[in-house]
Amino acid sequence: MSTRGVRNSTGRRRRLSVFTSLKAEMILSLAVLGTAALSLAALNVIVLQNLVMSRHGALYLALLIIADVIIFVAFGAYKVQGLVLDPLDRVVEATEAIANGDLSRRVPQGSTIELSRLARSINRMTSRLLEEQAQRGHLEKVASVGRLAAGVAHEIGNPLGAIGGYSHLLRRSMNGNAEAADAIAGIERESARIDRIMRGMLDYARPRHRAVEPTRLNDIVRRVVAMLTDQGTLRGVQATLSLDEELPPVSGDPHELEQVLVNLLLNAVDAMTGEGIVTVVSQCIPFSEIAEGDDRRRDDPAPLAPAREPNARVRAWLRSVGELREVVKLVVADSGPGIPWSESERVFDPFFTTKDPGKGTGLGLAIVARVVEGVGGTVWVRESREGGAAFVMYFPVPVAALPNDIAAAPDTSP
């Protein structure tokens, strides 16, 4: 286990040590109650010795014992009610609400170790249900977009081509009419927008043959940044690259991975309205750092904010990817307005966009997620230190890409 894992487990033990065990609490309460009852009985016998030795002494002694028993039972019932029954009532109330469909409900943390563990387990189960529900919804959306694209592309494509041809004929015969020229330009502009939407739907939904090969992400990052710089897209943007020169290659289609970088950088430029800072970071990190719940490293550059626990998309990826040795981490962060937490998952849904109407199709990030997940990785978004959005991608490192001494070493992990 890494040093960070030791620190995390130590922190959990310290948090648990704040609570007492239910068993210990009950034993301690009963011991205190029994000692108090016996002490009270002995004190009463000593103080009321003459009364006990009188003719009705047996009756007085019986009444004294009954009083002690009543006090013992009443105090015991009070402790059981406070330590067990009331917390269980709260747990039952929360689980009933969850069973009735309120998946946002959480079980309050108990005052003892056992009840805290119970609450934590139920809350984790509820979070998993939410994640599975979101995953099913995402797959249903993907299937719906695929059926929609397959059924609509042909029906819209042909009329769209005809509209383009007619607008070309109209432009040739407008005879310098400015109003007609503006109308034709509007037709061509909106037709081109429909064509972009249809192409995005097809790119997102249709299966394509991938030329999967060992790909060096650093080369792709440099190539895409140079291309966008030459085109003038990054004219008012300060692009900062922090790339690990010893980054191992990942398996993927270089052209699709280029599309991922282009989409993310264009989104960053749009979010910053053309001016700001864009940072691209690549790292190779041990898989254990992600599995232990903290992917923040000491040498992370400033634009990256620490994550307290894995994102829901990362948790789902961890359950499906199996055991890895190393992971390539690629981050694209900007200094724009950022993405609200409530929309951090929806941004990867097809046709969801935070841009103004007419400025985006809502398919760019959906295509990013499809490509990254298609090569066995995952992508999620968090807040950068400048307040903008930081898109984080994890790519599994093939065993063949590891150094020979690591790749050949037997797997001794449990």
Q: What pLDDT does residue 59 have?
A: 74
pTM of this prediction exceeds 0.75? no
Counting Cβ atoms within 10 Å, is residue 134 exposed (0-12), middle (13-18) or buried (19+)? middle
Q: What pLDDT does residue 185 have?
A: 83
Residue type, position 209, single letter: H
- Rounded-to-integer distance, Cα 172 and Cα 351, Å: 36
CATH architecture of 128-205: Orthogonal Bundle (1.10)
C-alpha atoms less than 13 angstroms from C-alpha of 136 in its C-beta half-sphere: 6
Q: Which residues of the chain have pLDDT under 70?
A: 1-20, 22, 41, 44-58, 61, 131, 134-154, 200-211, 293-310, 354-361, 399-414
Three-state secondary structure readout of 364-395: HHHHHHHHHHHCCCEEEEEEECCCCEEEEEEE
Residue type, position 340, single letter: P
Distances (CA, A) of 107 to 86, 113, 114: 13, 14, 13
- Rounded-to-integer distance, Cα 353 and Cα 324, Å: 34
Q: What pLDDT does residue 247 have?
A: 92
Q: What pLDDT does residue 265 have?
A: 92
Contacts of residue 249, defined as CB under 8 A and 6 or more positions apart, other chains included, come to 214, 215, 216, 217, 398, 401
Residue ranges of the chain that CATH labels 3.30.565.10: 214-407
Q: What pLDDT does residue 125 have?
A: 81
Q: Where are the beta strands (DSSP E) in 304-363?
A: 326-334
At 308, list the tokens: 């307290």
Q: What pLDDT does residue 403 have?
A: 52
Q: What pLDDT does residue 49 have?
A: 64
Of the CATH numbers 3.30.565.10, 1.10.287.180, 3.30.300.10, 3.10.580.10, which one belongs to the domain with range 214-407?
Answer: 3.30.565.10
What pLDDT digit, counting tens, does each position of 326-382 carry? Answer: 999 999 999 888 888 778 778 887 777 766 655 666 778 888 888 898 888 999 998
Q: What pLDDT does residue 3 have?
A: 39
- Rounded-to-integer distance, Cα 20 and Cα 111, Å: 7
Residue ranges of the chain that CATH labels 1.10.287: 128-205
Phi then psi dihedrals of residue 396, to 5 deg: -65, 140
- Reference 366, options 267, 290, 270, 288; nearest CA is 267
- Rounded-to-integer distance, Cα 222 and Cα 234, Å: 13
- The helix (H) or strand (E) run that includes residue 38 is helix 22-47
